[in-house]
Structures are given as C-alpha cells and as structure tokens.
Chain A
Amino acid sequence: MEVITRDRPAFANVQVKMQAGDKIIAESDAMASMSTSIVMNTRWNGGFVGAVLRKLFGGETLFVNEFVASEDSELIITQPFPGDIECMDLNGTSLFLQPGAYLASEPGVKMGVSWAGFASWIGGEGLFRLKVSGTGKVWFGAYGGIFVKEITGPYVVDTGHLVAYEPTIQMKVGMAGGLFSSFFSKEGLVSRVSGPGRIYLQSRSIDGLATWTNRHLWR
C-alpha cells in the first residue's frame, strides 16, 4: 500500500494506492472517489460500546468504513474542511486526537476513548478524548496548516488550535493572562501543556471561522 498526501496544505487529500488484500479504515463520509475493485464495509467504530462512548464523549462518528482492495486499486480520502493532513506512524505508541481530527488508519491501529479530565472540559474540549494506539499509520486533519512542535518544558496553546498530542504531554487549562486581559483580549482560556513530547497545532480553528462568519451573517 502506497499513500500520498497531495494538494497540501490548502486542500490536502490522501491518495491510497492499494494492492489485492490491502485494507484501510476511514472516517465516515471520508471517501471522495475509488476504483470499483474496492469493497466498502461499514462497522461500529471499535465495537458497539466503544462506538457509543466515542460518539458521546469523543465527538467522533458512530461508524467507520473499512475499504478492502481485490486487485490494484486507488482510493481518495478527504476531510470536510480545507486544510492540511498529517500522518503518524504508531509503533506500539499512542496519540491523543481532538474531536473531528481523525481521518484514517491502518488495520493495526486501535481507537479508544480515554478520560481527558475536567481541565479539558472547562477548556471546551470535552471530558473524554480519542486515543489511537497500536501499530501502523494514522492520518489526521486540521482546518488550516499543521505545525508540529517538540516541547520539553511548559508551553501555552489556544485550546481551539490543538489537533493532537502525545500521551507524555500534561495539560492544564488556565487563563491567558490576568482576569481582565484574559477576558478582554479574547484569548480567554488557554491550555498550558508541558512536555517532553510532541504537539500538533492547526493554524486556524473552525470555531474561529464560525464566529467570524456569524458576525457577517444577516446584517
């Protein structure tokens, strides 16, 4: 299986060149086009209970699609919003993904929900988070460009811009400055993360787009 992420960073989409027997799992509605020699099967996103938990708490869909090739074929996978797509090769390691970031994965990758804590909930990101682990590649997307940051000490991120982070990262929610500046600077709450580990940030946020669009609607 050969995978190319093309049209980066504005309209990243994933071209998967498959051979007989190759299998890939993708988020619901992620398929843009494919060869007819690929069979698509829909299944619960990691078992019934797991799927319901992920839907309720991880902001993910109930179902995922499994694509299996019966001969040399091509599959194009995409995300709903314009932006970049990153790939991470898991090697017994794991990665936390923010709601909606998951795009596709190889069959060796498991999806689960883990407790994110009250800090995450106050930051508007939910009590639970999506955890991918196992062996194989996982693809995740963002609205806007993706920056990878290797952090060793403390670091501050706006909560809406965090896409993914390694499990070694500790996260606390705090105010951007004092009470006054946090409120009036519109930075509000931020995530104070500390390493060592890797975090993935997106250069724009869907919430930001919605706020901006709302200001220009129906005036």
Chain B
Amino acid sequence: MQYEILARPASSVVKVSMNQGEHLTCEVGAMVAMSTRMTVETTTQKKGASGGGIMKGLKRLFAGESLFINHFTAQSDGQYIILGPTMMGDVVHHRLDNATLIVQGGSWLASDPDIEIDASFQGLGKAFFSGEGAFWVKCSGSGDLFMNSFGAIYPVEVDGDYIVDTGHIVAFEDTLNFNVQKAGASWIGSFLGGEGLVCRFQGKGIVYCQSHNPSSFGSSLGPSLKPRQS
C-alpha cells in the first residue's frame, strides 16, 4: 500500500494505491473516486471481527463519527482510491507501530484494517470543559492511519508539557496525558480574554494540532447567517 497526499494544504485528499487483496478502512462518505476493481463492504465494526459490532458502531456515533465504516478491498494489482474529508483543510499520515493514537471525533479519515478503531470515553469532566466530545476515536495496533483537520496540521513533539487551546486538537499519542485547566494566570482573565479553558498535555509523545478552530470560524460567520425557517 502506497499513499500520496494531494492538493495540500487547502483542500487535501489522499490517494491510496493498493495491490490485490489489500484492504483499507474508511470513514463513510470519504470516497471521492476510485478505480473499478475495488469492492466495498459496509459494517459497524473492524473487518473480520465478530460480535459486539453494533455497540462499537453506536459508540462511534457518540464520538462524532458514523455508525458505519467502509472497507475497501482491491481485487487486482494497481488499484487506487482517493479519499477526501468534508471540510477545507489538510490530511496527515501517521504510522502506528504497536501503539495507540487518540483522534478527536470527526478527524479520523481512514486506517489499515489491522488497526482497532474504538470510541474511547475521555471522562465527562474533560468532555464538558474541553469543548470537545465525550468520546474520542481510539486507534490502536500497527499500520497506516490518515486524519483530517480544519486548517493546516502541525505536529508538536511534547517532552514535558504543552498547552493546546480547545478546538485545536486533532490527535495525540496515548503516552501523553491531558488535563483541562484555565488558560491564563487568573480565572477571570482566562474567560474575559476569550481563551477560557485549555488542554495541558503532559508526558512524551506527539500531539497533532490544527491551525484553525471550527467554533471560532462558526461564531465569526454565524451572526450573519439567516435563521432556519420553520
């Protein structure tokens, strides 16, 4: 399996080339185009797994992903698929080597079928205060993984601690812990200053951040939009 990320960074797509018998698990609706000798199978669980599929699918729903996932299989050599996220933004590749990456709901695009995809509960407190969802997509195992973002993606290699504003997290390695805390020196200042709460990562590992915040974009455009007509 080989990949190439095209049209970076404004409207990135990933082109994955596959040989006979190779598989790729993708977010539903992400397929932009593909060659003809590819088959698709839609399930609620990891390819080849048995039992507990519906529950995993439902948990993924909470994580902001879809109930279903698509498995693409190449029926002959030299096949390819082009995957694109919904929003304008970048696509990034991460290689998992018997490790775990926690991906923010909505940022998971595709992964090797050997990678276990499960919604992971990050705690109600963190969910409420971080402005992210209560569930994140936990990807563990070995293989290639693709994620998308709103804006450009920049990886930060944390060794010690690092602060990321809520709304800018794409994914992080599970060797990192995070806490939600105030952004500034004082509580009042943190809220008046518009930063509010931030996530403080501790440990050693990579955190992928996105350059733009979907909620900030929404609140700058929202007031000019017309209300829904009933």
Contacts and interface: CB of A to CB of B under 8 A. Distances in A.
A152 interface: no
Contact of A13 (B162, B211, B216, B220): B211
B163 A33 contact: yes
Contacts of A33: 156, 162-165, 168, 209
Interface residues of A, number: 39
Contacts of B200: 36
B149 to A, nearest CB: 9
A10 B9 contact: yes
A45 B221 CA distance: 23
A65 B221 CA distance: 23
Contacts of B52: none
A57 interface: no
Interface string B55-93: 000000000000000000000000000000000111000
Contacts of A135: none
Contact of A11 (B151, B188, B192, B195): B151
Interface in B189-213: 189-190, 192-195, 198, 200, 209-213
Contact of B225 (A6, A62, A78, A213): A213
A31 interface: yes
Interface string A61-76: 1111100000000001
A100 B220 contact: yes
A29 B89 contact: no
A7 B168 contact: no
A41 B221 contact: no
Contacts of A113: none
A139 to B, nearest CB: 14
Contact of B193 (A10, A35, A65): A65
Interface of A: 6-7, 10-11, 13, 28-29, 31-36, 38-43, 61-65, 76, 78-82, 100, 206-207, 209-210, 213-214, 217-218
Which 9 A-B residue pairings sit nearest by Cβ, starting from the closest? A28-B194, A42-B193, A42-B189, A210-B224, A29-B194, A10-B10, A7-B152, A80-B216, A40-B184
